Structure 1
Amino acid sequence: MSFAPQIKIPATYMRGGTSKGVFFKQDDLPEAAQIAGKIRDQILLRVIGSPDPYAKQIDGMGGATSSTSKTVILAKSTQAEHDVDYLFGQVSIDQPFVDWSGNCGNLTAAVGSFAISNGLVDAARIPENGICTVRIWQVNIQKTIIAHVPITNGQVQETGDFELDGVTFPAAEVQIEFLDPADDGEDGGAMFPTGNLVDTLDVPDIGSFPATFINAGIPTIFLNAEDIGYTGTELQEAINGDAEALKRFETIRAYGAKQMGLIQDISEAATRQHTPKIAFVSKPKAYVSSSGKAITEADSDLLVRALSMGKLHHAMMGTAAVAIGTAAAIPGTLVNLAAGGGEREAVRFGHPSGTLRVGAQAVLENGQWQVKKAIMSRSARVLMEGWVRVPEDCLK
């Protein structure tokens, strides 16, 4: 019997925000994996350790959560006035597919750092000390993102005293600007795909709920916590340990995706797990975060809980934070109403791990809401670099 040898692929394992992922330079991948298709997906699945019926990803780099089952492919940008092209792949844990339908806002914080350290940013644009502005073209959603990366003695500064709820240790602050984060209409319509700030979402055998559908950062379905039987203070175990609740959320998400125009048939949601996200909001309340930190009612403007890849997220996805900030800035959305209503340019929301502040600039132009940019701070750090190994038969 013959056995396939393993091949080595240069890679870097990085934390960005509250996520971790395996980063590749596009031209370091095997030639057949440098373009979209079966070979690329097979390699990334094997790197992460999917599909895994045990849902542990023991035989790969994944951490068996949506936050740690991620891959990034970077290249010098093909777009004018940009430094790096950023392609994100969300790897399913138990199914054999990679979802390319959206961005990862958390890992965006690591994209700038990787690009600088790996020669994807022109040396003339990197200061000896100060802030390097990295212009990122997000390939999945065709949007521009700006990362402001601190530089010390010509090198990316990773350590610092910036604290981010959901991340154990402090690090250097990286400010991220998502420019024009609303959807342009290519995939599901305008920022509000139904044309309404609030719709009624009818889900057979489950109920009818007020919902805000928004395409900003990432397509997201917002519901009121109380309408679906929650308080908004829930931690992961309250939902992730309830199989019936997860099934119910997935059914609601599927019908919401159809109403947003993202899918034509409910069955398509099963192979589009990354988008849309589903989240529920409530007015601010006191609760104890997953780390044991007491969050008071005064610490936030509202509470948000969001699901990613079928499970309640331990903190908040960066792209969903953009959706939250955008929706909060527009009077009349469920997010805005939960935060007290009115006009605002920033919101601090409570999530299972603590709180997060995100800003957004929204204006009403010709009867349509436009968001110029959303801003938040994250951090990033290289955890390991070298090579990943995968069996050669991944190339077949």
Structure 2
Amino acid sequence: MKRVLFVIDSLNSGGAEKSLISLLTLFDYSKYKVDLLLFSKQGLYLPLLPKQVRLLEVPDSVKSYEEGIRKLIADRKFKTLFNKMMLYIAHRQNIQRKRKHHAQINWRWMADRIAKLDTTYDAAIAYSQGIPTYFVAEKVHAAKKFCWINTDYRAAQYDKKFDAPFYARFQNIVAVSDVNKEVFTAEMPEAAGKTKVVYDIVSTAMISAMALQKGGFEHDCDGTRILTIGRLVESKGYDLAIEACIRLKEKGYRFVWYIIGEGPLKEELERSIKSNGLNEHMKLLGTFHNPYTFLKQSDIYVQPSRFEGFGLAIAEARCLQKPVVATNFPVVHNQIKDRWNGLIVQMSGEALYEGIRELIDDPGLRDSIIQHLKIEDVGTENEIHKVYELIESNIDGAETQP
């Protein structure tokens, strides 16, 4: 039985986290013994982790970076204290923030204080870019190493020179869409030959079953229910959603726009919703283990993102035959054919408003999109066989030891 390690920051809400849970739910535990390392042993999806997966303890050397200054002094962890102070300074230097992604700044000052894992694995998988990738490259002993790219690498603004030596140590790099691969290999051409596409796992059967469970909206909506799912971060385009919401209200449409997600922009969004008089029209719901009951009860799904790696929530909306309005980020074309199974609009609040307005006003277009969605095969469960192929493959040419 092969030993496989997955590494990801946490199991908080997010597309990569949800995709990993879906993958692990389908995994063949008669052939593989699976460990999971989280740098934060918590998260929305933690209760959904299959019982066959062994959740590793967060290494003490990682935990120490979460400790306060007084605790570090009391424990005489002076080198960690120094690194933590330098990390604090680095994040506040404009020149550092412009040159490097925050994960790269973190690793620069954390790496030498983080211990290597004792266990040797047959395969180690970094399931997102940034810290998990750096950790698997330098701190894990494994016969084979693979890493996932599940964001728009160019838009995320990673420093390519910093990343290149890390990616050189992986046998394969996995992009979660064709466009995702094109963007990454254009930025990192030396990795083009070993970069493959494995789509995020979307289980139509699981989503449909969970959508029928108890839950969902607690109150009736006198009008159209609009839903957006995603972390409350700038890349998700919630400012554009608020602009569209303002226009819908001005034009007298009856609707409520619900948002499922948490993140650093929550307070800012709450202030914007209040200051624009949208309290009755835009609701921040928080996060849920099962968002599919809400999705099933919605009329329109909206994705106002500036960029995505794949767009997992769009795939989930398609599974439940919900008309989608999405902004024109590059990877959206992997899933949506404009006016066939959804609407693709320009990246502005006005364009979002026009797309939503058209779906509300034109029941013929809405019904046509729903009929096309009913005949689509959205499920990507078979992608797990590509993961097995990676684990079982015989690949030479990349450094695998820390």
Normalised by the length of structure 2, the TM-score is 0.31
Greater length-normalized contact order (CA 8 Å, ≥ 6 residues apart): 1
- Relative to its length, the structure with more helix (as a share) is 2
The structure with more radius of gyration: 2
- Relative to its length, the structure with more strand (as a share) is 1
